[in-house]
Amino acid sequence: MKAKPIKKKFNIPWKLKSLIFGCIDYLHASRLLYFFQKYITKRSKITSLVLSQDWVKHKDSLKKYKTINKLFEFGAGKTLVQNLYLSNVVKTQFVVDLYPMIDLDLVEIVRQKLIEIVSLKSKVRIKNIKDLEFYGIYYKAPYDSTKTNLPDKSIDACISTNTLEHISKSDIIAILSELQRILKDEGIISAIIDYSDHYAHTDNNISLLNFLKFTPEKWRRYNHNIHYQNRLRHYEFIDIFKNAGFNVIKEELIYAEKNIPSDILNSYKNFNPNWKATSAHIILKKAK
């Protein structure tokens, strides 16, 4: 079971949420979404913190393959709590985002909550981006992960947590091409991917795989830039990884949806059964 910061439950009909995202896209007002999450739905509010198994999976993978010197992460999010947790294991973390989503208030809150669970290598309060360097974290946004300008074979590992499902297939391929260049020959990619319909995260009335009932044309009505979901299934990701020159050395799949609507089952009856997976932890190495 994935543990995460405990947040106030807020149920929103998914089509209403899609309409809100559409308006935000139209107005180019992404900051309005962050305000809405922080002060209205309070989905960004953190009242307590529990150890996430996602963090542990990354940590265990990094230690197992001895890739703890220099880490690259794209799509780090608002709180950097995972990076703070990993700071006791990883010497240097280069953490980037396509957009500057970091919320330093939340970063300091999770740091205070985290030290109630684990000891950190620094006790410095985080008031600005520079303070993150006391934890070996170097944050940069906006940042294009398809063009890192990092030296060849300079990264021991790349991690990604619930980010790849929000990136288009063509951009995923471009990022993997860049990772092929900057990753050391014995380096790894540790990726956790959420295959579920993210609208179901705030609407209990729909299936975790609800978005699979729509044709590509109809799905475009609900799939907005601010909340983009590529809907790629596990077998499709595996093909992308292999075609990009990576070997899959671990696959851990989770099937959290037990009541898949019959129309979706009929649509996918001839596909690899792992299309039903709602999340996965995948470890990749460069093919030799």
pLDDT per residue as tens digits for the range 4-19: 433 435 688 999 999 9
Write down the pLDDT at residue 48: 73
Q: 32-91 pLDDT, tens per residue?
A: 666 565 555 555 566 678 899 999 999 999 999 999 999 999 999 999 999 999 999 999
> At 59, which amino acid appears?
K
Write down the pLDDT at residue 36: 60
HSE-up of 134 (CA within 13 Å, CB side)? 13
Torsion of CA 192, 197, 202, 204, to 10 degrees: -120
158 phi/psi in degrees, rounded to 5: -125, 135
The more confident residue out of 219 and 226 is 219
CA gap 161, 81 in Å, rounded = 12
Question: Residue 284 has which token pair?
Answer: 């990749």
Among all chains, which residue has been given the structure tokens 């240097």? 92
227 phi/psi in degrees, rounded to 5: -140, 45
> At 98, which amino acid appears?
L
8 A C-beta contact, residue 99 and residue 144: no
The more confident residue out of 142 and 32 is 142
Supply the pTM of this predicted model.
0.91
CA gap 108, 117 in Å, rounded = 15
Q: 222-271 pLDDT, tens per residue?
A: 999 989 999 999 999 999 999 999 999 999 999 999 999 999 999 999 99
Write down the pLDDT at residue 2: 34
Cα distances (angstroms) measured from residue 278 to each of 145, 212, 265: 25, 12, 14
CA gap 77, 277 in Å, rounded = 24
